Homo-oligomer: A and B are copies of this chain.
Amino acid sequence: MPTRRNFIQKAAIATLGGALFPQITEAANPQLATTAAGPTILFQGDSITDAGRDKASYYPNDASGMDTGYVHHIVTHLLGSMPEQGLRCYNRGISGHKVFQLADRWDDDCLQLKPDVLSILIGVNDYWHSLGGGYKGTVETYETDFRKLMERTKKALPETKLIVCEPFAVAGGTAIDDRWKDFTAYRMAAKSIAKDFGAVFVPFQSMFEEALKVAPAAYWCPDGVHPSLAGAYLMKEAWLRAFSKL
């Protein structure tokens, strides 16, 4: 019931992956888990991406380096369903970060990794921390900084495929109040940036709004910002749909 996939179908999925990464044609080898240089997928963002990962575990594909958020589920799916690819998946989200903090560590935490696919989910702190947290940034700051970061990335890594995830605020979450209607402008900015830079956009906001018809925020995303296991599942599914469009 919950799945119809089997190993044969996984092989078909891996073939599709081969179309995405045509440079990878060799079968897996015994060193695959630690040394094979397959395509690199990098996840960047804030606490939603971080999800409490062990920062000391910065090697690719390591469980404790992913922890228990949406990235963990995406990476597990990719590694499990595309074993021939030799994928190298990195999580470099850091809790609390805004766009300018991604920019501060972009050389170390993005450019030097030379990702084939870069996924970014950023923006909730750019707004949240301006609500009495002493941070003075506005939506213009967010959009300007984000565009600069994308331009810098495009220049350094012109071949990298981009996924821009929509920052979201789930109504009914304990941290979300009426002020969060202003967060819509941040979401629109992210969508506009995705379009302008040829990135695939992952519409997390509408996804959660659809999910709220079935169960409340407490089920999907208790504070409105950080997903539950069930919310992480939805994020994984939506991200994989976006990934399939690359």
Q: Judge whether A129 is part of the interface by a CB distance below 8 angstroms.
A: no
Which residues of A198-221 are within 8 A (CB) of B? 207, 210-211, 214-216, 218-220
In the assembled complex, the Cα of A215 lies from the Cα of B66 at a distance in Å of: 22
Secondary structure type dominating chain A contacts: helix
Check B64 against A233 for contact (C-beta < 8 Å): no
Task: Check if B234 sits within 8 Å of A3, measured CB to CB.
Answer: no
Which residue of the partner chain B has the closest CB to A214? B83
* A81 at the B interface (CB under 8 A): yes
- Residue in B2, B32, B33 whose beta carbon sits within 8 Å of that of A13 in the complex: B2
Give chain A's interface residue range (CB within 8 Å of chain B): 35 or more
A17: chain B residues at CB < 8 Å are: 1
Q: How far is it, in angstroms, between the C-alpha of A30 and the C-alpha of B27 when the chains are bound? A: 49
Indicate if A79 sits at the interface (CB-CB under 8 A).
yes
Complex alpha-carbon distance, A220 and B10, angstroms: 15
Task: Return the CB mask of A60-91 against B: 1 if under 8 Å, else 0.
Answer: 01011011100011011111110110000000
State the number of copies, please.
2
Give Cα distance in the complex from A228 to B72, angstroms: 12
Interface centre among A1, A5, A34, A243 (most CB of B within 10 A): A1
A135 to B150: give the CA distance in the assembly, Å.
Answer: 59
Residue in B7, B76, B218 whose beta carbon sits within 8 Å of that of A30 in the complex: B218
CB pair A78 B2 closer than 8 Å: yes
Say which residue of B81, B219, B229 sits within 8 Å of A75 (CB atoms): B229
Task: Name the residue among A16, A75, A219, A228 with the largest chain B CB count within 10 angstroms.
Answer: A219
C-alpha spacing A236/B2, complex, angstroms? 10
Within 8 A of B (CB), among A1-54: 1-3, 5-7, 11, 13-14, 16-17, 20, 27-34, 52
CB neighbours (8 Å) of A30 from chain B are 172, 216, 218
**B7 x A210 contact (CB < 8 A):** yes
Does the CB pair A79–B7 fall under 8 Å?
A: no
Q: Does A240 contact B (CB under 8 A)?
A: yes
Q: Is A241 an interface residue (CB 8 A)?
A: yes
